Structure 1
Amino acid sequence: MSALLFLLNTLFFFLVGAALLRAWMNTRRMRMVQQPGPFVMAVTNWIVQPLRKSLPQTWVQSQFDVASFIAACLLALAYSAAWHTLFGAGLIGSTGTSPLFSVPFVALNFMLRTVLQGLMVLALVYVVLSWVQPQAPVQYTLGQLLQPLLAPIRRVLPTLGGVDLSVLLLIVLLQVALILIG
């Protein structure tokens, strides 16, 4: 059963993470022509495009990518329903509690974990690329994605000996947040 849980978590981590990354990239007004844009589009088009057609035009044209965020929420709810079905004694809880209460909480927890773990992956790739290949095109994209999170840290944490430790502090803070919601 643990292998099945691992597969379920991995599948939905990529789906929810891709939808959230798409929302974040569109909110930041980033072009989807270089990675991770094409990957995110390929993974999420099947759910985001129908949502865009069914949502009011004012929502679709807003600065925030509502369709991608709703897609992430729907995928997180699907994860929660699958988790409850497979591991939580069905959709009627083992303690007799209604799934109307537990499914949204598991979905919210999953979305929060996905955001934190996804940011950690982006930060780790950003750091490794800055050491190995600092001029890589994806390095610029990752910098744009992480800039709103790194800017406040960089204002407080000075560069030490020419080394920017803001990404390391961001990773530590993300790990602490993961422990707190764990």
Structure 2
Amino acid sequence: MWFQMVSMVLDVVAGLMAGTCLLRFLMQWQRISFHQPLGRFVFAMTDWLVLPLRKVIPAWTQWDLSSWVAAWLIKLLQFLLLWLLAGGQGALGLLPLVSLVGLAQLVVSALSALVLVLAIMSWVNPGSPMYALTARLCDPFLRPFQRVVPLIGGIDLSPWVLLLLLQILGMLLSGLQMSWMH
């Protein structure tokens, strides 16, 4: 039972830290200002890791690869600690791949939560600044679906289609990760 508790705490802490690194990437990619409370939070949470990585990993076009690498390193540390706590059972060489799948799962979960928040806010408070920020963050992922999924009665169902596909992807990633860990 203690392993499950430690695992949960590590998952929450690593998810928050790696997720914040991914949010930093997304905000920079979408050119969202960091001169607001969320931006200051993202910098405070990630500067300690992203800034040193930037000295070694250059940006690729407009993409900040150091934020991605920081997120992956956090997930790698999480799985390494879990591996050590489990007594070193399993192949150590698979940890980089398992952590990459863990990062992909985090992306799927975070994007699902973001799209769900956008959908709820569109009904509750579409005029709020938080709705505008969430819409800008979700836009590159929703736009392809909005081109294909027609409005039905004036309602945009593309967020629900994206959520369905993200859930399927999450299941596939979970199955893949479980097969590698056993």
TM-score of the two chains, using structure 1 as the length reference: 0.87
- The code of the aligned residue for 1:55 comes to V
Between the aligned partners of 1:14 and 1:23, the Cα distance in structure 2 is 14
Gaps of 5+ in 1: none
Aligned residue in 2 for 1:29: 31
* CA offset digits 1:140-161 (Å, max 9, x no partner): 1211111111111111111111
Between the aligned partners of 2:60 and 2:164, the Cα distance in structure 1 is 36
Q: Alignment partner of 2:10: what SS?
A: helix
Between the aligned partners of 1:161 and 1:9, the Cα distance in structure 2 is 41
What is the CA distance between 1:60 and its match in structure 2? 4.5
Between the aligned partners of 1:61 and 1:46, the Cα distance in structure 2 is 21
Q: Give matches, 1:82-101, under 5 Å.
A: 82-87=81-86, 89-90=87-88, 93-94=89-90, 97=91, 99=92, 101=93
**Contact 1:27–1:63 under 8 Å retained in 2:** yes
Q: Give matches, 1:93-132, under 5 Å.
A: 93-94=89-90, 97=91, 99=92, 101-132=93-124
Q: Does 1:156 align with 2:156?
A: no
Between the aligned partners of 1:41 and 1:137, the Cα distance in structure 2 is 20
Aligned residue in 2 for 1:13: 15
Aligned residue in 1 for 2:66: 67
Between the aligned partners of 1:45 and 1:130, the Cα distance in structure 2 is 32
Identical-residue share of aligned pairs (%): 33
Q: Does 1:76 align with 2:75?
A: yes
**Contact 1:34–1:138 under 8 Å retained in 2:** no
Between the aligned partners of 1:72 and 1:9, the Cα distance in structure 2 is 13
Between the aligned partners of 1:11 and 1:155, the Cα distance in structure 2 is 37
What is the CA distance between 1:119 and its match in structure 2? 0.2
Distance 1:69 1:140, change over 3 A: same
- The code of the aligned residue for 1:41 comes to F
What is the CA distance between 1:124 and its match in structure 2? 1.2
**Contact 1:15–1:43 under 8 Å retained in 2:** yes
Q: Does 1:138 align with 2:138?
A: no
- The code of the aligned residue for 1:79 comes to Q
Instruction: Provide the aligned C-alpha RMSD in A.
Output: 1.7
Gaps of 5+ in 2: 175-182
* CA offset digits 1:53-109 (Å, max 9, x no partner): x226xx24841112212211211211121121123x22xx34xx4x1x221122111
TM-score of the two chains, using structure 2 as the length reference: 0.87
Between the aligned partners of 1:140 and 1:31, the Cα distance in structure 2 is 12
Distance 1:148 1:61, change over 3 A: closer
* CA offset digits 1:120-175 (Å, max 9, x no partner): 11111111111111111121121111111111111111111111111111111110
